Amino acid sequence: MENLACRRGGRLIFEDVGFRLGNGEAIALTGRNGAGKSSLIAMLCGRLRPEAGVLRIEGADDAPLQELIHLVGHRDGLKTSLSARENLDFAQALLGDAALPADAALERVGLAHIAELPVGYLSAGQRRRVALARLLVSRRPFWLLDEPMSALDISAQAMLTGLMEAHLGEGGAILAATHGPLGLDGATEVRIGP
Ligand SMILES: Nc1ncnc2c1ncn2[C@@H]1O[C@H](COP(=O)(O)OP(=O)(O)OP(=O)(O)O)[C@@H](O)[C@H]1O
Average pLDDT, the chain: 95
Tell me which residues have their CB closer than 6 angstroms to ligand 1. Answer: 8-9, 13, 31, 33-39
Nearest CA to ligand 1 atom 7: 8
| This prediction's pTM | 0.95
Nearest CA to ligand 1 atom 30: 34
Distance from C-alpha of 7 to C-alpha of 125, rounded to nearest angstrom: 32
pLDDT tens readout for residues 107-118: 999 999 999 999
Nearest CA to ligand 1 atom 16: 36
Select from 12, 15, 38 the residue to mutate for testing ligand 1; criterion: most ligand atoms less than 8 Å from CB: 38
**104 pLDDT tier (thresholds 50, 70, 90):** very high
Half-sphere exposure of 67 (CA within 13 A, CB side): 7
Distance from C-alpha of 66 to C-alpha of 108, rounded to nearest angstrom: 25
DSSP-derived letter for residue 188 is E
Select from 4, 11, 13, 175 the residue to mutate for testing ligand 1; criterion: most ligand atoms less than 8 Å from CB: 13
Classify strands 142-146 and 173-177 as parallel, antiparallel or unpaired: parallel
pLDDT tens readout for residues 46-98: 899 999 999 988 887 778 888 899 999 999 999 999 999 999 999 999 999 99
Distance from C-alpha of 24 to C-alpha of 61, rounded to nearest angstrom: 18
For 74-96, b where at least 16 C-beta lie within 10 A, e where not — what string? eebebeeeebbbbbbbbbbeebe
The single-letter code of the amino acid at 61 is: D
Kindly indicate whether the ipTM for this predicted assembly is greater than 0.95, answering yes or no: yes
Closest CA relative to residue 179, chosen from 130, 146, 154, 157: 146
Residue 18 buriedness (CB in 10 A; 0-12 / 13-18 / 19+): exposed
